[in-house]
Amino acid sequence: MNIRQDAWSDNDDRFLANTILKHIREGSTQLQAFDEVGDALERTSAACGFRWNAIVRLDYEQEVKQAKRTRKQRMKETANHAVSKINHSKHKSYANIDSIISGLQHLQTDFEKNAPLTSSQQMEEEVLQLESKNKEMQEEITRVKQEYDAVKQDYDMIVSMMNRARELAMTEETNPSPNFFRMDRNGNLEKIENA
């Protein structure tokens, strides 16, 4: 692939800015935007990053702020939706456990009302059936508890992500100078000191 080294046009600058703003709004990284623009304009990602940080960004400060607000709002909506889904799932799990307990109580009541006096062999058979049913119900309770634990783990992860995003947003709001970040292997952002 040939790498261009000619001057940037106004259209190239607009494409660079629009792509980066789109990535910011969608919660993506500027590095991914640089890659996308580089592929489209046959330039290196580094050239796109340099052009953005040195020249183009200065003309788009307000748009960058708006894109970050949009991203923040989208993250809040996503988190609220996830929390709502988790709360609904928790309620559903509790309802399943309640219905299992209620079903067992009805079985016991029916058995006590309708159990004729039978031989010990028939009683042993009924006990075996009830133990089998009880085992099934215990397995169902275990399954529901595991689902609950998985949902709780997802909820805790979402809350942790929201807190990290909130801290990042607070850093951006209290420090108006441009910040540059780098993503480490674990997906965490680390701030790069301005040179």
pLDDT tens per residue across span 71-102: 999 888 888 888 888 777 666 655 577 777 87
* C-beta contacts of 100-108 below 8 A and 24+ residues apart: 100/137, 100/140, 100/141, 103/137, 104/133, 104/134, 104/137, 107/133
pLDDT one-digit tens code per residue, 19-67: 999 999 998 999 999 999 999 999 999 999 999 999 999 999 999 999 9
The domain ranges of the chain are 10-63, 72-189
Cα torsion 104, 109, 113, 117: sign: positive
Placement of tokens 């607009």 in the chain = 14
| Reported pTM | 0.43
Backbone angles phi and psi of 88, in degrees to 5: -65, -40
Cα distances (angstroms) measured from residue 108 to each of 96, 102, 105: 19, 10, 5
**Which DSSP state fits 186?**
T
30: closest CA among 189, 193, 194, 195?
189
Segment 135-181, tens digit of pLDDT: 888 888 888 888 888 888 888 888 888 788 777 777 666 665 666 66
